[in-house]
């Protein structure tokens, strides 16, 4: 069955993890484009502030606090969203947490909590959303990571959770296709993004944790998510570095592992001691902002993502390249 998705301005979009980072950027951008957004997270104050910001700009945001690790709470999120907005057209499973630690030094309770939020949060959200998306068709969008294709040292449990999300999302997509259900299922795989993730994560290392550059802007991820809300697409990378890293890791996995092992201490840790700040593993994180510290690296806009999510632009660029090639061939002839 062909899946048809509504224009964003006609949609009700549910976004988990909406209080900061990618979720917050996506909520603001969706509301600017005319969507009604249902924003969910654990931090009520941050959600209320975001809703007020959206309302001030003429948009509509409905606040429903929710811990995605609780399946009953996520089921209530879905039913309350429909009760207050009439339907759900797009559901974005975005909530996530991170831990910087060597795997052997990571307490199992913390590891399980990460999986409860990252992986089981996606499962809970998918199962809650599907009955409503089935009614008129819609999009289910899960936030993964390029680390599902290329594991990152000191982020091993995070990488494992994203690999689990990838496996679940791909299998769920196939099962929905088998039943010819009118739901598009998309996996988004971002490169390092300049969100507050480095400030929010639990850091058990002897130095402040970081991620290898380049960092990309949260708006790039938001734009990609909203593209998937209107266009049925299997998966999308955010940032050319994510696409390159995935291909490189799959084609030359031994070399990728050796390189990561050789440079891990330089690119995944800074020279600074760990910063004393509360993490968001078990409680809402602060501050509730879109962007975070990138340790001196400038967050860039992704040309790859812009081309991938704007087919008209991609065709124009391809046409220009083809025209230049033909011109060069004609001159040589």
| Residues identified as active-site | 158
Residue 216: beta bridge partners? 193, 300
The burial class, CB within 10 Å (0-12 / 13-18 / 19+), for 82 is: middle
- What angle in degrees, to the nearest 10, is found between the helix axes of 156-178 and 108-136? 20
Q: Quick one: which of 172, 16, 14, 196 has its CA closest to 94?
A: 16
CA–CA gap between residue 185 and residue 138 (Å, rounded): 9
Torsion-angle region of residue 296: left (phi > 0), alpha (psi -120 to 50) or beta?
A: left
In Å, the largest CA–CA distance within the chain is 70
CA–CA gap between residue 208 and residue 93 (Å, rounded): 28
CA–CA gap between residue 17 and residue 74 (Å, rounded): 12
Cα angle for residues 220, 121, 281 (degrees, 5° grid):
85
Residue 300: beta bridge partners? 216
């Amino acid at each position: 069955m062909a899946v048809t998705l509504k224009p964003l301005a006609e949609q009700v979009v549910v976004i988990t993890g909406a209080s900061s980072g990618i979720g917050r950027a996506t909520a603001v951008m969706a509301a600017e484009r005319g969507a009604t957004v249902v924003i969910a997270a654990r931090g009520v104050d941050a959600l209320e502030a975001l809703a007020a910001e959206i309302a001030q700009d003429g948009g509509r945001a409905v606040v429903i606090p929710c811990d995605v690790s609780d399946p009953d709470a996520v089921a209530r999120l879905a039913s309350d969203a429909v009760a207050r907005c009439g339907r759900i057209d797009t559901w974005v499973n975005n909530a996530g947490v991170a831990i910087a630690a060597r795997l052997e030094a990571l307490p199992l309770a913390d590891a399980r909590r990460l999986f409860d939020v990252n992986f089981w949060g996606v499962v809970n959200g998918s199962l809650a959303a599907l009955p409503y998306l089935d009614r008129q068709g819609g999009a289910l969008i899960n936030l993964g990571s390029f680390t599902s294709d290329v594991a990152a040292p000191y982020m091993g449990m995070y990488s494992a959770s994203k690999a689990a999300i990838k496996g679940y999302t791909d299998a769920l997509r196939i099962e929905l296709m088998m039943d010819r259900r009118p739901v598009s299922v998309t996996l988004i795989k971002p490169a390092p993004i300049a969100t507050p993730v480095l400030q929010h994560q639990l850091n058990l290392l002897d130095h402040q944790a970081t991620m290898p550059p380049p960092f990309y802007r949260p708006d790039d991820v938001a734009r990609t998510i909203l593209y998937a809300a209107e266009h049925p697409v299997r998966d999308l990378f955010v940032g050319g570095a994510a696409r390159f890293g995935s291909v490189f890791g799959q084609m030359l996995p031994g070399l990728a592992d050796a390189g990561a092992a050789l440079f891990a201490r330089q690119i995944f840790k800074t020279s600074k001691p760990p910063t004393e700040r509360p993490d968001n593993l078990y409680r809402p994180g602060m501050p509730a902002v879109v962007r975070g510290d990138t340790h001196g690296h400038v967050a860039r806009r992704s040309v790859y993502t812009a081309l991938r999510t704007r087919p008209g632009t991609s065709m124009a660029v391809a046409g220009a390249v083809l025209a230049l090639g033909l011109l060069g061939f004609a001159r040589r002839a």
